[in-house]
Amino acid sequence: MSEGPIRRYSSDGSSEEVPARARTRAELLKEAALAVPHMAMLLSRLLRDRDIPRVRKLFAGAALAYAVSPYDLLPDGIPFVGRIDDVVLLAAAVHSLMLAVPEDRLDAYWEGSRDALDIVAGLVQWGADLVPGPIHRIITSAP
């Protein structure tokens, strides 16, 4: 993922557009980690939004309860796989909430940079896309 072009100005007043440097994976992950407080605020506002269907909010609450519960379909002791079910379920729930509001309202609820929102939304969608197709369609088509 790269940023848009950068305008570079010289001392004689002329300017030129140069392509921005592509960010490294570490830079992207750092930006996503710094967005966690903004994500918490966004989720709080989404859960209080009266236009989001109650079933989507209940799903988000159930996903959170499942993630913090000591009982799992896939035990957490299994390396990698044990945690992935929690992450995928949470991503699907957050994705469902984000799809339920218009993009301009999502932008209004987000306090961070638009770039950070794009990164977080991409990560959430990536996790939600790991949910099997039929289940994913049920989650995202809920009223």
The pLDDT tens digits along the chain (143 residues) read 445 566 666 667 666 766 667 778 888 778 777 888 999 999 999 999 999 999 999 999 998 898 888 887 777 777 777 778 888 888 999 999 999 999 999 999 999 888 888 888 888 888 888 888 887 777 777 66
Cα(67)–Cα(41) distance, integer angstroms: 19
- Cβ atoms of 127 and 91 within 8 Å: the answer is yes
* Burial annotation 77-108 (CB, 10 A radius, 16+ → b, else e): eeeeeeeebbebbbbbbbbbbbbbbeeeebee
| 0.75 exceeded by pTM | no
pLDDT of residue 10: 64
pLDDT of residue 105: 93
pLDDT of residue 141: 74
pLDDT of residue 101: 92
Cα–Cα–Cα angle for 61, 115, 53, rounded to 5 degrees? 25
